[in-house]
Structure 1
Amino acid sequence: MHPSPRNPSRRRSEIRRLLLTREAMSVEDLSQALSASPATIRRDLAALEQSEGIQRTHGGAVVPGVRPAEQDFAFRESQDVAEKRAIAEAAVSLIAPGSTVFMNDGSTIMGVAKAIVATGLDVFVATPAVNVATKLAENPKATVCLLGGFVRHTSLATTGPFTETMAAQINADMAFISSDGLSAEGGLTFTHAADAALAKCMVAHAARVIAVTVTPKIGRNERITAVPAAQIHEIITGCTDEAKLRPLKSAGVTIRNVAP
């Protein structure tokens, strides 16, 4: 599904994401990708040149000096788009106004952040993700707490003991956790120890734990278990593979399927 040509903000956000992913695109390619006229795309590029540092070229645009982390994140955002959007909408529907929420980092979490902004929800969110916090700040009703710590250049998120100490002071109504893998045997699993440690801390200080997980991660076990399956209250996923879901259901985890 493409952003509505009549919604300039969403269209320009998508243009920036496409440019980050591909580094350079022509007006013609952007016009086809977004179902918008070339004249509209040119106006968007002119606006983005002023606000986002996009560099216009003859017949298109590039993103100069793209950081590897930004480019990698834009690529991940381009995967499983419909599923992530459905997960985000379901996640936000669970948040009562005035709630305190933990959100870790990742492209699926960014989808939840965008949905919170779109709904204008009154919410307190604590997150280590610099880009997620920046997005949430677009919602004037959201109180955004960026968990302090060392910024890992590969993930655009803070990490380490300072981050965990700050998170431990917050009593959350729910924690939305995106992991590198999720299985009945390993629970929420991560590649990096620091990511696992923060997820574990968030879960310990949240009344409800909700895993937001795209299909490719279901059934996958990564290096480090942060949260056993028994501690997960609900999984929001678009996975329809019953063979993958059956062990999680047998473990007593509620699964909210949002297959797009």
Structure 2
Amino acid sequence: MRDDRLHEIRRLLYAAGAACSVQEISDAIGASPATVRRDLIDLEAQGMIERTRGGAKISDTSGQEVAFALREQQNLSEKRAIAEVAYAHLRPHSSVLMDAGTTVLQLARCIRLRPMPLSVFTNCIPVAQVLADLPEVKVTLLGGVLRAENASMVGGLAERMLDELWFDQLFLGAGALASDRCIYTLEEAEARLNAKMIARSSTRHLLIDSTKFGRNLTYRVSPLKDVLSVISDGALSQEWSDRLAEMGVSVTLASLQNGQDV
């Protein structure tokens, strides 16, 4: 029961993307406010959340990876809008590499709604599952070590597979885009594989919502200059828009009206 509550509190705070009051959490999970307060103390001690005055929010600086299913729900409208813009960049009969980002998963769902002939390669199990039974789409899942936290395949085997392949297009997610203008992630093996993906692709699109800009995570993937195109949402700050323009990186900002429930 306690573990279920802690999971639900984390899911709720991550999906909200902002602080929730103790009463809001209590109503959502069906536990007393006193129980919620004790659970919040435990979650804060684990570095998962930050308590606020009268409530709590998910921690942005915990350095711990939140499970794929929880991350998938955060900023969902923005991710769907970004995926709609990314879909317009797809070219029929091309080879497409899709990483294990949750925004990239929304692109896979767009493809499922409007299939086109593609050869899709991915290290993301949910992406492969979404596209698996489409006759127009040939799906290749990279081998390697399973990372349950990110529902992805990583490691030396996956990297060696990429050495034998070349892709027309890459659609890459990101955990953070730091002030040094580099892409970062929380996990070393993921960083190495993503860097290899960039090196083995002709056209490289970074799908990243505006909340990821200016954040810091542990492992560097690549300088942003190695990516040709950034697709984000309309909440991206003018400061970052100017920085990207200075670097010569193409930027497309998605309107939330472009998103749809897929």
Q: Distance in 2 between matches of 1:256 and 1:219?
A: 18
Question: Following TM superposition, by how much is the alpha carbon of 1:167 offset from its aligned partner in structure 2, in angstroms?
Answer: 1.7
Give deviations 1:22-49, integer Å, cap 9, x for gaps: 7xxxxxxxxxxxxxxxxxxxxxxxxxxx
**Structure 1: unaligned runs, 5 residues or longer:** 1-17, 23-70
Counterpart position of 1:147:
142
Question: Following TM superposition, by how much is the alpha carbon of 1:106 offset from its aligned partner in structure 2, in angstroms?
Answer: 2.3
Residue pairs, 1:65-80, within 5 angstroms? 72-80=67-75
TM-score by length of 1: 0.70
Q: Distance in 2 between matches of 1:86 and 1:153?
A: 27
Q: What do you get for the CA RMSD once the two structures are aligned?
A: 1.8
TM-score by length of 2: 0.69
Q: Please tell me whether the aligned partners of residues 188 and 225 of structure 1 are also in contact (alpha carbons under 8 angstroms).
A: yes
Equivalent residue for 2:213, pick from 211, 215, 218: 218
Question: Following TM superposition, by how much is the alpha carbon of 1:248 offset from its aligned partner in structure 2, in angstroms?
Answer: 2.1
Residue 240 in 1 paired to residue 230 in 2? no
- Letter aligned with residue 113 of structure 2: A
- Letter aligned with residue 188 of structure 2: A
Equivalent residue for 1:256, pick from 246, 252, 256: 252
Q: 4+ residue stretches of structure 1 with deviation over 3 A?
A: none
SS in 2 for 1:75: helix
Q: Distance in 1 between matches of 2:138 and 2:131?
A: 8
Q: Distance in 1 between matches of 2:183 and 2:111?
A: 24
Equivalent residue for 1:81, pick from 60, 76, 81: 76
Give deviations 1:167-203, integer Å, cap 9, x for gaps: 2211101111101112462422111111111111111
Structure scoring higher RCO (CA < 8 A, sep ≥ 6) equals 2
Residue pairs, 1:39-50, within 5 angstroms? none
- Letter aligned with residue 129 of structure 2: T
Residue pairs, 1:1-260, within 5 angstroms? 72-183=67-178, 185-238=180-233, 239-260=235-256
Give deviations 1:99-127, integer Å, cap 9, x for gaps: 10111102111101101111111111111
Q: Please tell me whether the aligned partners of residues 193 and 224 of structure 1 are also in contact (alpha carbons under 8 angstroms).
A: yes
- Letter aligned with residue 164 of structure 1: E
Q: Please tell me whether the aligned partners of residues 155 and 189 of structure 2 are also in contact (alpha carbons under 8 angstroms).
A: yes
**Structure 2: unaligned runs, 5 residues or longer:** 1-7, 13-65, 257-262
Counterpart position of 1:14:
none
Q: Distance in 1 between matches of 2:224 and 2:101?
A: 20
- Letter aligned with residue 126 of structure 2: N
Q: How many residues align?
A: 193
Q: Please tell me whether the aligned partners of residues 101 and 175 of structure 1 are also in contact (alpha carbons under 8 angstroms).
A: yes
